[in-house]
Amino acid sequence: MRPTELIPEAWRAPAARMAAALRQMDRVIVSGHVNPDGDALGSVAATGCLLRALGKEFVLYSKSGVPPYLSFLPLPGSLHDSVQRLPFRPAAAVLLDCGEPHRLGDELEKALPPLDSVNIDHHLGSEGMGSRDNWIEPQAAATAQLVAYVAISAGLPLEGPLGQAIALGLVTDTGGFAHGNTSAAVLHLAAHLVDRGCDIALLRQHLDNGWSMGRMRLWARLMERIQLFAGGTLAFCAVRLNDLQSCSATKEDLEGFVEQMRRLAGVRAAALLREDAPGIHKFSLRSFGATDVRAAAAALGGGGHRNAAGGTLRMEAEQAAEALIKAVSAVL
């Protein structure tokens, strides 16, 4: 299969359009959402590789930096955490895996309006925030999948650090090719990456086997705290403000825990509620198949995908738990 044949026919025109837009940009700041997951960081790294191949001046940006568990990923340049300390004044921006300016961080949100920007994202409900162009494709498994198609349209081989960055996005947002978003197109793309030398087994080794004792202790504590609701179809767990500190863990150590909750027999949806500050709680929802947790998240002011969603609740712990359980139970 030729690389261009990897791009689903309906997506070939927008992929080519994005490649053309990037060719016209220079002095570019590349960013995803704050607290980047594998898809956001992989998309940012892959786009940096693409811009470097096009001979563009660019910087990578994330207000919250690189999460320790993703530090193995080679980046095509330094990742900056301040818009005020960049090596040049950006004239353009590529915004990835994010549909709302505030999720870029307050500094970049304020700097965004005058920039010539494009937005590539796969989150449902986003209208796009790019001033030049937008490619919002909710049917894509990952933003990195779309970036791969842009790179192919630009004539770049999906190998080396570019291929590894794309693979990271695919692996994380498909749950290791186990989620319902693992389409034939995703598997064709993954096979092509392997053919070009990407070691997905090594990638999984980095992701799965670098746990700290703090993470192990935190998961052990939370496993004992899981509760079942809605006739055993909803698994719920609350993370209290002092849990991370007392276990010597970080927020990143919670990555993947909500997916583990869904492994309980009979559970159709899992809900994790994390207390970030008194009166401020972040929630993460996961489901499978037709169970639409995005609808529950939207009812609480959040968003995401049908089987993976989240948001923020500004209320006390008991109220937040009650509201979340009620909203998810309503879609079961």
DSSP string, 112-174: -TTSEEEEEE--BT-----SSEEEE-TTSS-HHHHHHHHHHHTT--S-HHHHHHHHHHHHHHT
**CATH top-level class of 3-207:** alpha beta
Residue the block writes with tokens 């202790």: 217
**Which ranges in 197-291 belong to alpha helices (H)?**
200-208, 213-223, 243-246, 257-261
Rg of the chain, C-alpha, whole Å: 20
Average pLDDT over residues 19-23: 98
How far apart are alpha carbons 123 and 200 in whole angstroms? 25
pLDDT at 303: 86
Q: How confident is the model at residue 195 (pLDDT cuts 50, 70, 90)?
A: very high
Containing H/E element for 236? strand 234-239
| Mean residue pLDDT across the chain | 95
Reply yes or no on whether the pLDDT at 66 is more than 80. Answer: yes
Q: How far apart are CA 220 and CA 269, in angstroms?
A: 20
Please report, for the chain, the start and end positions of each structural domain, with discontinuous segments joined by +: 3-207, 213-331
Cα dihedral 90, 115, 65, 253 in deg (nearest 10)? -160
Dihedral angle, C-alpha 231, 232, 233, 235, nearest 10 °? 130
CB 203 within 8 A of CB 164: yes
Closest among 120, 159, 132, 153 to 39, alpha carbons compared: 120
Read off the pLDDT band of 210 (50, 70, 90): confident
Query: How far is residue 36 from each of residues 32, 181, 195, measured CA to CA in Å?
Result: 7, 20, 28
> What pLDDT score does 301 carry?
92
For the 213-331 domain, the top CATH level (class) is alpha beta
- Per-residue pLDDT averaged across 308-331, rounded? 95
* Segment 101-149, tens digit of pLDDT: 989 999 999 999 999 999 999 987 778 999 999 999 999 999 999 999 9
d(CA 181, CA 173) in angstroms, rounded, equals: 8
Q: 31 with 93: CB under 8 angstroms?
A: yes
Q: Do residues 253 and 218 make contact, with C-beta atoms less than 8 angstroms apart?
A: yes
State the pTM of this model: 0.89
User: Which pLDDT belongs to residue 129?
Assistant: 94
CA–CA separation, 246 and 214 (whole Å): 9
| Integer angstrom CA distances of residue 194 from 161, 164, 202, 204 | 13, 10, 12, 13
